[in-house]
Structure 1
Amino acid sequence: MRLPDEQEERGMGIPVIYTIVAVSVFILIILAVVFMSNTRQSGREAAKNKDVEATPSPTPAKEGELAEGEADIETLYRENKLRAEDLDFWDMYSGSGAVTGEDGEENQETDEEQASASPDKSPGASASPGISPGALSSPGTSPDPSASPTPTHEPTEEEMAASGDYVQVTLRDGTKEWIEISEDIPRYTYDFTNLRISDGKMAYYQDGEKVSWLGVDLSKNSGNVDFEALKESGVDFVMLRLGGRGYETGLVSLDESFVNNITKAQSAGLEVGVTFFSQAVTAREAEEEAEFVLNNLIPYRISFPVAFDMEYIVNDESRIDILTKKDKTEIAETFLSRIELEGYRCVLYGGKNWLLGEIESEDLLAYYDVWLNEPGSVPEFPYQFKMWKYDTSQKIEGVENEAAYTISFVNYSRK
């Protein structure tokens, strides 16, 4: 038997359950709608971000195109999102403080400029030990040898003396200087073991045959000369002083014995060459000296060369003391070229100190024959010479006063 109140409670329970279920379903539907809405929104944002990443970010306009190395770094930065700290390795490439501009020239930065231009280095970003800053280059390129210049070594006097590539000269003021031997001037090739000397007379032999000619240098200071006696003693030629310019007055004059000497020498059958002592201080004076020589040779035929002789005066001052090496070179060139223009052979006379220390050697020695004045058994003068006054003045048969022998490696009379 049920009570009336129990029947009413049963009737009301079912609607309540349905209501709860319905509310729950409604809430679930709302949650599902919200979830789906959020999911679509996230997808749109992701797609948008992807498009943003795929599109290159605008960069400030630059003059010209990026250099290849800069483009590589820019690409790495965009694709991999590199940080400034990750680029510290670049300091290894610029650590020398040198940057190369578009024109290929290297410009040096000061330490302050480097400090202001470079980002702060992280503790682990320094260059590897043992690698010099200038030794590295951009990836894919060869190291630049000029980035690390090789230190040069200044040779000592002992090294220069032993190398055979230098020769020492004594200058006008008494100072000594080492001169590097030029590769542009031919060296002499004589084998001095082939020299033979008898009674002061030198001869040079090749394959047992004499290939040299003996001469004597003569002037008014030689006194009376018996040219027949010279010829009989084995002398082949004489070099006669034609004239010279006064080292104080600057006047050009004929040697007092020239006419007598050349007449008798040619009568004796000796070959003849002439010398002129120059004290010209300008190219114009050198031309004047050359014309003087040419005019005084008109009556004669000579077979050996015309020699240009310029020297300082021992223990006295002279006109040429004021000249530079360039001046003396120009004067010698002017004289020799003018003589050569008239068909005569020329030689440049001088000692080792003059030829190497007082003129610009490469401008003369490579073009003109040399008559070397260097007493001794083996000359220190390194370059080719065609005539050699190998001894100081001595007593020579047929010459009143002392004179000096000269050997010629060329028979100019046959040329």
Structure 2
Amino acid sequence: MYKRRFFASLTALALAAGLVMTPANAAFTDTQDHWAENAITKWSEEYGLITGYEDGTFRPDNSITRGAFAGILDRFLKYTVVSPASTFSDTAGTYWETSILKLHAAGVYLGTDGAALPGNSITRQQAVTMIARAFGITGTSTALPYTDAGKIASYAQAPIAEMTARGYITDCADGNFRPTDPITRAEIVNIMNNMVQVLIQDTQAYTGNIPGTVLINSTQGAYLTSMHITGDLILAPGVQDTVTLEDVIVDGQIRNFSPVTPTITSANDPDVPSEEPEQPQQPEGGQGGGTTTPGIRPEDVYTPGATTGEYIQYSGKSYPVYADAEPIALYDGDFYWEGDRLVYTGREFDTRFGIDVSAYQNRASQNQTIDWEAVANDGVEFAMVRVGLRGYSNGNLLSDAFYRQNIEGAMAAGIETGVYFFAQAITVEEAIEEADFVISLLDGLEIDGPVAYDWEMHDSTYRVYGTTPEMATACAAAFCQRIEEAGYAAMVYAGQYVSYIKYDQGALAPYLYWYPEYKSTSSEKLYPTFYYQMDYWQFSSSCTIDGIGGRVDANIQFIR
């Protein structure tokens, strides 16, 4: 459902550790009521990365030189490698020489015809391109939703498109990017503030719920524990000592530009599952494949599905075909691309277009708020909202920071709204606990879509690693049974690995099924290659939707 996770247990220690989430009032004489006031206060007063002037002003609308801009990026990322002094023809003896040469060594500051032009004002397209290089911002976005897009230089088009798609550029209310205008101090601060929620500059222990991206630039390393980061975790090039991540969940990516390999006690999951042991492992305390003490047994929850005697070949092994699970009725030629959306042209089903969202989409959207009216006007007919998750390390339950806001917004816009829960149950009791947690979160919210159980396993760091197929199926069935007892429609979300290896498809046939398999314009097969017919197909993780910043998972519902 979403990639690269760590787990967090949340505490109030975030404030004690200095993770101030709301900046205090600005201390400058010329920033009161300025559109970037809060961002200026945060990055100047709290973090000291962009300072004001001796007369008490910040001069937010002033331009900035290329050299001074290099100094800002150097303060953010603390580069250590320096290019030779002879690299540029015009930097010797200038104030920003060292910062410029550091950024050149990092491939960020390229210069023009051998000159750095340190005293020239830096333009908006130059600044955004350098920020993208510095933070490794790359991707497939090519859309430039600006009326003056034709004026953007070719070298800057991809960085600006990607930075825009991720919700980092929010100062173009009139629809113009203004690529050759000098960028202002306020505009720089605003972009950096959109990109980074919290900066860690020292080695004291940090913990807490961070609704955004965390940047570590402490040269002496850092210690993060019991933390949930809904964005990315970035290690700056200047980090030179140990970074310890203990029970930390990152909804986005870990981007490591430092020479340090983090010490991780709860690791990121790769995209492809690793091989599991033939016999479930049983660590102390029962973690991994079930408990060491008797509980509700799989046979108490479901009856194994009848098989046809035929087999499916997957990953070099054979798996039985279940009689009660309907074979797929989607074929080559049933779909075509319309922009970044697949359209169904077959005759077997009626279809609807929908999306699924989590805190990531809120973080990428302006003011961390999805414009659900705009979403509805863009043709979205249903939405699946992440309501919560169980950490795959120590198993604590956590709600999504924006689930209620998203549910209420989608429902108010007339969009059918369901929810999904990232599950990590290793016993039937835990699956029931997860279902009851979801039901409690939905109290007072009249959703009209299904409730999905998203149980995933990628490698041995997942607490569900080694869970037997019988127990995995029992957990899914128990969750769904509890959800339907509460009056909701239950649904199971699973890719091919879990669907074939872990789940008895016959036992789960009574419930809706949601299957992910991503396609692109280069895909040879524009249809799902799963054996069974799904009710919902998550066909993309990179759709663009009006009203939502960044990329969005896109889905088709099949209705008979």
Q: d(CA) in 2 for partners of 1:237 and 1:336? A: 20
CA distance in 2, matches of 1:393, 1:313: 21
Determine the C-alpha separation between the residues in 2 that align with 1:250 and 1:215. Answer: 30
| CA distance 1:221–1:331, shift in 2 (3 Å) | same
* Structure 1 position 200 matched with structure 2 position 344: no
Q: Indicate the residue corresponding to 1:310 in structure 2.
A: 455
Q: Is the 8 A contact 2:331 2:527 kept in 1?
A: no
Aligned pair in 2 of structure 1 residues 166, 390: CA closer, same or farther (>3 Å)? farther
1:368 pairs with one of 499, 506, 511: 511
Gaps of 5+ in 2: 1-309, 520-525
- State the identity as a percent: 32
Q: Following the alignment from structure 1 to structure 2, what is the Cα–Cα distance between the partners of residues 216 and 345?
A: 18
Kindly state the Cα deviation for residue 328 of structure 1 after the two structures are TM-superposed.
0.7
- Gap runs ≥5 in structure 1: 1-164, 171-175
Query: 1:185·1:362 contact (CA, 8 Å) conserved in 2?
Result: yes
What letter is aligned with 1:299?
G
Q: Which residue of 1 aligns with 2:539?
A: 390
Could you tell me which residue of structure 2 aligns to residue 357 of structure 1? 501
Tell me by how many angstroms 1:380 deviates.
1.7
1:339: which partner in 2?
483
User: For residues 48-63 of structure 1, what are the structure 2 equivalents within 5 Å?
Assistant: none
2:512 aligned partner, one-letter code:
D
* Residue number in structure 1 paired with 2:288: none
Partner of 2:431: 286
For 1:299 and 1:399, the matched residues in 2 are separated by: 25
1:394 CA drift (Å): 3.9
Structure 1 residues 178, 397: closer, same or farther in 2, change over 3 A? farther
Q: Contact 2:378–2:545 (CA<8 Å) still a contact in 1?
A: no
Secondary structure in 2 matching 1:235:
coil
The match for 1:237 among 368, 382, 386 is 382
* Mapped partners of 1:333, 1:307: distance in 2: 12
Q: Does 1:217 align with 2:387?
A: no
SS of equivalent to 1:392 = strand
For each residue in 1:136-184, what CA deviation from the matched residue of structure 2 results, as whole angstroms up to 9, or x when unmatched?
xxxxxxxxxxxxxxxxxxxxxxxxxxxxx654334xxxxx323343344
Q: Provide, for residues 67-119 of structure 1, a one-character-per-residue CA deviation record: whole Å limited to 9, x for no partner.
A: xxxxxxxxxxxxxxxxxxxxxxxxxxxxxxxxxxxxxxxxxxxxxxxxxxxxx
C-alpha RMSD of matched pairs (Å)? 2.2
SS in 1 for 2:329: coil
For residue 480 of structure 2, give the secondary structure of its aligned residue in structure 1: helix
- 2:457–2:498 contact (8 Å) kept in structure 1: no
Structure 1: distance between partners of 2:377 and 2:331: 28
Q: 1:320 aligns with which of 464, 489, 505?
A: 464
User: Which whole-Å CA distance do the structure 1 matches of 2:412 and 2:312 have between them?
Assistant: 43
> Which one has the largest radius of gyration?
1
Give the alignment of 1:146-295 within 5 angstroms.
Answer: 166-170=311-315, 176-205=316-345, 211-222=350-361, 223=363, 224=365, 225-295=370-440
Task: Report the AA paired with residue 300 of structure 1.
Answer: L
Structure 1 position 357, deviation (Å): 1.2
CA distance in 2, matches of 1:368, 1:210: 18
Partners of 1:306 and 1:192 lie apart in 2 by 30
Looking at structure 2, the residues matched to 325 and 380 of structure 1 have their Cα atoms a distance apart, in angstroms, of 22
Q: Give the structure 2 partner of residue 410 of structure 1.
A: 559
Question: Residues of 1 paired with 2:454 and 2:343: CA distance?
Answer: 24
Closer, same or farther: CA 307–267 of 1 in aligned 2, 3 Å: same
CA distance, structure 2, for counterparts of residue 169 and residue 226 of structure 1: 41
More helix by share: 1
Distance apart, 1:405 and its partner CA:
0.3
Describe the SS at the equivalent of 1:353.
helix
Whether the aligned pair in 2 keeps the contact of 1:305 and 1:344 (CA below 8 Å) is yes
Distance 1:267 1:367 in 2: 30
> Partners of 2:320 and 2:395 in 1: how far apart?
35
Matches within 5 A, 1:83-94: none
Secondary structure of 1:212 counterpart: strand
Alignment of 1:30-41 (within 5 A): none
Contact residue 541 and residue 551 of structure 2 kept, 8 A: no
Helix, strand or coil for the counterpart of 2:454? strand
Alpha-carbon offset, residue 205 of structure 1: 4.0
What does the per-residue CA deviation read over 1:121-143, in whole Å, with 9 as the maximum and x for residues that have no partner? xxxxxxxxxxxxxxxxxxxxxxx
Superposed displacement of residue 310, structure 1:
0.4
Q: Where do 4+ consecutive residues of structure 1 move more than 6 Å?
A: none
1:393 is paired with a residue whose SS is: strand
Aligned length: 239
Once the two structures are superposed, the pairs formed by residues 94-109 of structure 1 within 5 Å of their partners are none
CA contact (8 A) 1:387 1:410 kept: no
Question: Does the residue aligned with 2:487 lie in a helix, a strand or coil?
Answer: coil
